[in-house]
Amino acid sequence: MRRTRITEAVAGFVLSILVLYSPNILAQGLFGTISGVVSDSSGAVVPGATVRITNVNTNVAVTLTTNSAGVYVATSLNPGVYNVITLEVDANPKINLTLQVGQVSEKVEVTTESAPLLQTQQSDLGQTVNERELEQLPTSGGTGRNVYSLLSLAPGVSQQTGCDGCGNYGNVRISGSRPRNDDYTLDGSTITAPVFGGAAVSPSVDSIQEFRIEQNSMSAEYGKAGGAILIVVSKSGTNTFHGSAYEYNRNQKLDARNFFENPIQRKNPFDYNEFGGSIGGPIIKSKLFFFTDYQGIRSHGSAASNGNLVPNAAFRSGDLSALCASGFDASGVCKDRDTSGNVIHQVYFPGTTTPVPDNNVANTGQMSAISQKLLAVWPTSATPAGIGKDGLTLSSPSNTSLNRFDPRIDFNLSQSDHLFGMFHSQRGRFFDYICTELATEPPGAQAAPRQARSESAVFRIACPAFPTRPVEQSAVPRE
């Protein structure tokens, strides 16, 4: 067969990148790679053929030349839509192209409709949640819509509800791993919180392009995590301006009444507002892009707090005789004894071994005037909850103010050199009350306002010589 010399071959690809990059120490999983073999109609490889891969949204193109084996490899590709295939974060698909014989000066265009679903380049197991799913799936959390509330959608992930102080979005366990063994990364920067694990920074849902859970058989580049790896990648600007605005509201008029609230009284006040917006676009077409967003949360109200304990009427009056189950002898000493025969449950005068007759302090004339004034303002209840105690349900007020800000800049220095910088900031102020056992501590003891600040920053250059190494990278979570 006579072979015709092909002077130029341009491969056009349609690539949708699902960006859930795998976390690693140097964040190699932030970018994607496309590779393949160019051959002619007879099956012979075509060395020296030109392959052009173009990002549809930014018009940034990468031009490659196949080697002597007809192989091309495009590395350090940002997640996005390309003229080629669907590419996920940290994915490495292989796209083989076949060229038909044409004229010497003819341009041959090859279009691949879809990439193969079978992953043959990597052995990792995981699940990706893309931008469309993030926008349409309901997300919620104590501090607003949260991308990490979708973790339980992946197989092998369990979340414990009502986990007080777990600090890991419901004590997340992935494939049986301990929460603190998992690693969370954001734009290539590790944001794993100390002690309990989880993410120290929670970017707004509108700022996230994709996230991925790597559960098993990860690449050797991920050496930090002993369990799963959770990869989040933020959005970048494109050649067209895009923006969004939103407002979410909940209040006591729309919510059902709490089961523990008094049905006779009006519902506890509650008002929750989550608002914000995003905007992104070109600063210099096909060269310099920006994206930023803002999310604000303002919440105030009160909630029913049941199980609080207060002294009953007898204890308030100074009659503590209920402490003694066996009664008192003629001298007023409690008959209760321990296994060694010692007197127990007996009240004594302070600093002495003299028993208070019948455990009734009121009859001694030594009731503290200060304690009587405190008891006058102490909450009361008519629900017995044990010896000398009544159960009380309180309305505990709270107030939350939280602000999130996620700017990002992308600069394409050349077709092979890319620079980007991002800064994720989260600052909040939380105010509530501590409801303790009121039999021993002041009622509704006010807690000091709590402030939280978490930040993460990354600055990185990707170039052919060092396609996956960040020049500078830092994560600064503060609580």
Among 123, 153, 186, residue at a domain's last position: 123
pLDDT tens across 225-260, in order?
A: 677 888 888 999 999 999 999 999 888 888 887 777
Q: How far apart are CA 461 and CA 468, in angstroms?
A: 9
Query: Would you say residue 461 lies in a domain?
Result: no
pLDDT for 126? 76
CA atoms within 13 A on the CB side of 305: 18
Has residue 173 been placed in a domain? no
Strand-pairing partners, residue 232, are: 186, 211
318: nearest Cα among 238, 372, 391, 389: 372
CB 315 within 8 A of CB 307: no
From 89, 123, 157, the end of a domain falls on 123
Cβ proximity of 277 and 245 under 8 Å: yes
The residue from 98, 123, 148 where one domain ends is 123
Residue 163: pLDDT band (50, 70, 90) is low
**Which pLDDT band holds residue 102 (cuts at 50, 70, 90)?**
low
Contact 310, 438 (CB under 8 A): yes
Is 352 within the bounds of a domain?
yes
Question: 3-class SS at 253?
Answer: coil
* pLDDT grade for 463, boundaries at 50, 70 and 90: low
The three-state secondary structure class of 371 is helix
Domain harbouring 22, CATH code: 2.60.40
Q: Domain tally for the chain?
A: 2
Is 460 inside any structural domain? no
> What DSSP character marks residue 433?
B
Strand-strand pairing, 229-234 and 183-186: parallel
How do strand 9-12 and strand 108-111 relate by DSSP bridges? parallel
Which domain does 346 fall in, by range?
319-366
Sign of CA dihedral 335, 338, 341, 344: negative
Q: Evaluate whether residue 23 is within a structural domain.
A: yes
Please state whether the predicted TM-score (pTM) of the whole model is above 0.85: no
Distance, CA of 159 to CA of 133 (rounded, Å): 20
Asked if residue 207 is part of any domain, the answer here is no
Indicate whether 78 belongs to any domain. yes
Q: Is residue 169 part of a domain?
A: no
Q: What are φ and ψ of residue 334, in 5° steps? A: -65, 140
